[in-house]
Amino acid sequence: MKAAIIKKYRLIIKTMGYVGWSLFWLLLWDVAVTVDFMLFLTAKINLPLMPLTLLGSALIVLISFRNSSAYNRWWEARTLWGAMVNNSRSFARQVLTLLDDPDGDVNPVKSTLLRRHVAYVNCLAAHLRGEPCPDEVRAFIPTEEFARNGATNNFANDILTGSAALLAREYKAGHLDSIRLARLESTLVDLSNAQGGMERIANTPLPYPYVYFPRLFISLFCLIVPVGLVESLGWFTPLASTVVGFMLLAIERIGTDLQSPFRSSEHQIQMEAICETIEKNLQSMRRDALADHHIG
């Protein structure tokens, strides 16, 4: 019970910190309005609550519409990464089962393709954040290829193209027939389509008014709220208006994070964890394939 209470308070503190300085300045404004009204104003402000209520309702509709659009982007991004996981497993399974093993030995190209794919998903995650390909992928990519293409605009796509070229060489070497090559190429196309969908989300943000106007209207509303409440709530105005402002600011901030699902934020797509899952899956599939080969 005590641990649950502590966890709850930590969550509240974390949420307040998530909104940041906006909440602090809002609280100062609410206190200033209340003190000025209660102690210094001789002419009382009489702001009807009905316009404030209507404005708040319209603002909620606007924020909900924007956040719905932002969530759709976030969910599509997560769906595309889910497709990336599934297609990665399919690609690994096809590589391990469709490529022939010359002279009874395990074809080394199988391991090469799986290692390249681990590098591919990690470079893709970095690419979506606008970051260079991490140095850790050097362990999975030939040194000369990394030196040649590591600084290109889209190294992830270069890795995928290199894997396709490697499969084409295996076809020419007689380790693949045309039917199996077509199946592998189809999976590579699925991977490329998922990458293209992610790049579309990353490179096409929501229109600027979707971001600017909700933030502007929330700021104006938070400035007006204590003026409208102070006559009826008195010294309790800072508490009530700050709570209202906190909810609006938190919802707006969540929408801002969701509209850019690949950017580092509290609600980002956990691409590193997904890449780690793919790597573990491929390693497990490779170990099982090697064990089956030795048993056979």
What whole-number distance in Å separates Cα of residue 122 and Cα of residue 137? 8
pTM of the model: 0.85
pLDDT beyond 90 at 7: no
- The average confidence (pLDDT) of the chain is 86
Is the residue at 6 inside a domain? Answer: no
Phi, psi values for residue 158, rounded to 5°: -65, -40
pLDDT beyond 50 at 296: no
pLDDT beyond 90 at 18: no
Can you give the pLDDT at residue 294? Answer: 47
pLDDT beyond 60 at 293: no
Six token digits for residue 51: 């316009």
Q: Which residue has the higher pLDDT, 113 or 267?
A: 113
CA-to-CA separations, 195 to 21, 77, 87, 145, 156, in angstroms, rounded: 36, 10, 11, 21, 9
Can you give the pLDDT at residue 295? Answer: 42
Taking only the tens place, the pLDDT of each residue in 137-178 is 888 888 788 777 766 678 899 999 999 999 999 999 888 999
What whole-number distance in Å separates Cα of residue 96 and Cα of residue 114? 9
List the end-to-end C-alpha distance of the chain, in Å, as a whole number: 55
Can you give the pLDDT at residue 44? Answer: 61
Taking only the tens place, the pLDDT of each residue in 197-237 is 999 999 998 888 888 888 899 989 988 888 888 888 888 88
**pLDDT (mean) for 41-57:** 73
Do the Cβ atoms of 140 and 146 come closer than 8 Å?
A: no
Is the residue at 98 inside a domain? Answer: yes
Is the residue at 253 inside a domain? Answer: yes
Is the residue at 15 inside a domain? Answer: no
Is the residue at 9 inside a domain? Answer: no
pLDDT beyond 70 at 42: no
Q: Which residue has the higher pLDDT, 135 or 82?
A: 82
Six token digits for residue 83: 């497709």
Is the residue at 13 inside a domain? Answer: no
- Give the structural domain span for 151: 22-289
- Amino acid letter at 8? K
**pLDDT (mean) for 180-205:** 95
Q: How many structural domains is the chain composed of?
A: 1
Q: How far is C-alpha 226 from the geometric centre of its chain's CA atoms? A: 36
Is the residue at 265 inside a domain? Answer: yes
Check residue 129 and report its DSSP letter.
Answer: T
What whole-number distance in Å separates Cα of residue 137 and Cα of residue 139? 5
Q: What residue ranges in the chain does DSSP mark as E strands?
A: none
Instruction: Find which of 48-57, 178-187, 207-216 is predicted with most confidence, using mean pLDDT.
Output: 178-187
CA-to-CA separations, 62 to 51, 57, 139, 210, in angstroms, rounded: 16, 9, 49, 9
Q: Report the 10 Å Cβ neighbour count for 258.
A: 23
Is the residue at 7 inside a domain? Answer: no
